[in-house]
Structure 1
Amino acid sequence: MKQKQYIFHSLAIEIIIVLLASMIAFQVCNMLSIRISFLPLVMVAGYIMLKLLYHLCIILARYIVDAIPTSLLASFKKCASKKAHPLVASPISNYEEIQKKRMELFHYEYQHEQQQYQQQKEQEEDAKLNATLRYTRDTFKRFDLDETEIYQICESVRYFATNRQVLSVTEIHIKKRTSLTQISLKNFAWNIAFQYNIGRDMTTSFVMATFAEWFANSTFDTVRKNLRTTTGRHKIEIDENILSKYLTYGK
């Protein structure tokens, strides 16, 4: 394709030069009263002069282009490119700006949803813990424990449910009552642990540390083995749904 264009341009230039040479030859012959037989010679001379002038113009143009600083030429090309494509750059810029705003909006909405979810989860956890503590107070109010001892049990339950660990050091010692059996206390500990998916080992440590006088002569393995008793009647029974009547959030 480029070769064809080059051939076409060369032919066009040659034709123009020949025509100009013919016109100049006729004018020179008329002005100088030269015989018509010398017309071809005058045309050849005019052709040669025009051809030399053409090549001289090309050489001068190359010299001028080479003399222009590279930085200035690059700036000129850059400006020409911007003027040549004003409608192409603008839509791309607008599209990137729109995409950026969409990403910012998406990020904001995601953070807002995460914050709402976290707040809702914290509210549910607080409600669940408060229900667990109400269950604890209601359970031990039925026995002859004083308020300080019930308070200490609630604090041990709070630590156990929140941290999945045992509060081993307590300020108030809970005295042993004959109305409360080991089975009832183990059932109570299992009921709490079940709500928070706490394992048997930690639950065993919790009941033995919180009600130490009841388990003074018991081994860890023995308590762990019989942590849950469903046969017979006991003051505190196994109940997987102890919080259903205490939960109040969402109502």
Structure 2
Amino acid sequence: MRQKQYILHSLIIEVAAVLLASMIAFQVCNTFGIRMSLLPFVMGVGYIILKLLYHLCISIARHIVDAIPPSLLISVKKSAKEKTLPLTSSPTSNCEEVQKKRMELFHYEYQREQQQYRQQKEREEDIKLNAILKYTRDTFKRFDLDETEIFQICESVRYFVTNRQVLSATEIHIRKHTSLTQISLKNFAWNIAFQYNIGGDMTTSFVMATFSEWFTNSTFDTIRKNLRTTTGRHKIEIDENILSKYLI
């Protein structure tokens, strides 16, 4: 491939030299009144002079290049490479930068939406818990329980729905009151557990731990089988819609 390029390059130079020598010979003959029969001789002389000038220029150029320090040539090549490199890599780097900024923006928006979602869920849970606690207070205010006992029941309910566990160790003991029956207390516990989709086993444990004096002679299985009583009239009835009544 290089040999073909070299031959083509040499051929172009020769043709250009012949044409230029012909033009110069014609002008010389015309200017100085030289006979046209001598035109080939004049053209040959002009051709030789042009070739000599061509080789002279090449030699001068080589001497100039050889005189330049190698370190300067290397720095010039590096400078030229640095100037051309951004032009070739610019579209790719710009695309990567845009993609990176898009990913950062997407990540930021996702985190912000997740935070807003968590805050919204926390607000909803707080509103729901406040409604449950208000239902608890209003329910037991109708009976002869004192304020400390109602407070302890509310704390047990709060722990029950928040942790899905039973608060067994309490500072305030809830005394047995004849105005409250086992069925009413089980209905109350079921109403609370239903709002949070808490299972029967955990609800049974909550009843037995919170109102222990009412269930001293009852077994776990017996209470578990009869958590929900809808027949007859009771002071605390089954109510699946207590939230709709207490949500503000």
TM-score range for the pair, normalised by the shorter chain length: 0.7 to 0.9
Q: Does the C-alpha gap of structure 1 residues 15 and 202 become closer, same or farther in structure 2, counting only changes over 3 Å?
A: same
Number of aligned positions between the proteins: 241
2:217 counterpart letter in structure 1: N
Find 1:79's aligned residue among 64, 76, 83. Answer: 83
Partner of 2:118: 118
| DSSP 3-state at the match of 1:159 | helix
The 1-side partners of 2:211 and 2:137 are apart by 15
The 2-side partners of 1:55 and 1:150 are apart by 114
2:127 counterpart letter in structure 1: A
| DSSP 3-state at the match of 2:243 | coil
**Is the aligned partner of 1:154 residue 2:154?**
yes
| DSSP 3-state at the match of 1:118 | helix
The 2-side partners of 1:75 and 1:199 are apart by 76
Q: Does the C-alpha gap of structure 1 residues 196 and 59 become closer, same or farther in structure 2, counting only changes over 3 Å?
A: farther
What is the RMSD computed on CA atoms of the aligned residues? 4.3
Gaps of at least 5 residues in structure 1 are none
Q: Residue deviations 1:90-135, cap 9 Å, x none? A: 9x969957984x7666666555544444333322222211111111
The 1-side partners of 2:217 and 2:55 are apart by 118
Shift of 1:77: 4.4
Partner of 2:163: 163
Q: Residue deviations 1:56-105, cap 9 Å, x none? A: 645765783995623422312443677xx6xx969x969957984x7666
The 2-side partners of 1:35 and 1:168 are apart by 133
The 2-side partners of 1:74 and 1:164 are apart by 70
Partner of 1:69: 73
2:203 counterpart letter in structure 1: T
The 2-side partners of 1:211 and 1:59 are apart by 113
Partner of 1:191: 191
The normalised TM-score by structure 2 is 0.74
Partner of 1:182: 182
The 2-side partners of 1:59 and 1:218 are apart by 118
Deviates more, 1:233-242 or 1:15-24: 15-24
Q: Residue deviations 1:203-235, cap 9 Å, x none? A: 111111101111222222222222212222222
Q: Does the C-alpha gap of structure 1 residues 228 and 60 become closer, same or farther in structure 2, counting only changes over 3 Å?
A: farther
1:79 counterpart letter in structure 2: K
The 1-side partners of 2:132 and 2:85 are apart by 73
**Is the aligned partner of 1:136 residue 2:136?**
yes
The 2-side partners of 1:59 and 1:226 are apart by 114
